[in-house]
Chain A
Amino acid sequence: MTVREVAAEAYRETLPVLVLSAAGGLFAGLVLVGMEAELAAVPGLLVLVPALLATRGNVYGSLGARLGSALHQGVIEPTLGLGDDRLNAAVAAALANGILVSGFAAVLAVIVLRVLSQPVAGLLTLVSIALLAGLISGLLLTVAVVTVVLIGYRRGLNPDTLAGPVVTTTGDVVGIATMLVAARVVLALGGG
């Protein structure tokens, strides 16, 4: 293959995924713009945005990749339900990872901002928001990834090429929207 052929093929194969993920990212940005009041009310919340978004992609993207490989190898069955121990373990581990890492990001952000003498909300407030957002987004993304990968596989689609776009398009929107919901809940309960 010549350079031109390689480039044309890579361009053609990647453009649809990139446009989908751009649409997802723009909607995530719109939610972020609508979050101005919460960003102002909870100093340090903005610091968490990239870390929490990346965690959604890292954890649930890897869940999708794991399920894709397992389906190819016949390690798990393509049936929706709670009967498969391996599928349950993969989902439980992804949720545990997602929630633990979200909490860790909040603790680290508070420590770093305090060391830098920057304004920051209370540790309990930021950690509560991160854990709550981690839990809700984890449940939503798990349902999205498992459903799309298993149903796609049953319809004869390659799960490896499905999981990536699902996570990149829904991950940012779900990630930011759940941060907004979690911030509102924690602020309503008296945090801040």
Chain B
Amino acid sequence: MVEYASEWTVSGIVRTMLPLLLVLTGIELVSGLVLDTFEATLLAAPSLLLLVPVTIGMAGNLGSVLAARLSTAFHLGLLSFSPTDDRLAGNAAATVALSLTVFPLVGASAWGLTAAVGAPGLSLGTVVAIASVSGLVLAVLAVVVTVVTTYVAYRYGLDPDDVVVPVVTNVCDVLGVLVLFGVYRVVA
């Protein structure tokens, strides 16, 4: 009961959450520093700046949804870590298909919104290409990061729900910024 009571006190919750939150903040600062080195580029191309939060968010979401689905399948005993596992392959394929559906629309919307309030700084085709290619690369990376993290949690006897979702979401956030700028440099 002592254990149970501390789960619902302010200090108990803060003590449990804060260490992980501080580590994740350190990870997120890496993507902030990458953004900072591109500040001049971003201010000159508002459509690219507009893509930053949505790309970060979507990468984190693709990873966290996949992580939650794999964790549940794992708890139910439905998952094995083999490339031929149907559930693993099906969820991975869905992640890529979702990214191919949503990211082109995100690119077109980003261009349209910046065109509506000022100058987009880049052409419609360039913004859609940057968003689509970034989305595809991020979907593949999200699958790899999620499967590896879930497997590591499983090997160390950790509950995937506690560890995998926060780690995957934040790692995918950082990858979101890195991939967006990597693709921008190749495409633009």
Contact = CB atoms under 8 A, between A and B. Distances in A.
A39 B29 CA distance: 16
A25 B32 contact: no
B152 interface: no
Interface stretch (A98-106, A146-154, A182-190): A98-106
A144 interface: no
A93 B17 contact: yes
Main secondary structure of the interface of A (DSSP, over half): helix
A59 B46 CA distance: 29
Contacts of B42: 46
B9 interface: yes
A51 B28 contact: yes
B17 A97 contact: yes
Contacts of B25: 51, 54-55, 101, 104-105, 108
Interface residues of B, number: 67
A3 B64 CA distance: 20
Categorize the interface residue count of chain A: 35 or more
B54 interface: yes
A22 B131 CA distance: 12
A123 interface: no
B187 interface: no
Interface of B: 8-14, 17-18, 21-22, 24-26, 28-29, 31-33, 35-36, 39, 42-43, 46, 49-58, 60-62, 64-65, 69, 86-87, 89-91, 93-95, 97-98, 101-102, 105-106, 109-110, 113-114, 117-118, 166, 169-170, 173-174, 177
16 contacts: A1-B87, A7-B91, A15-B102, A25-B58, A32-B50, A33-B50, A34-B117, A47-B33, A50-B173, A54-B60, A85-B8, A93-B17, A96-B10, A97-B14, A97-B18, A172-B54
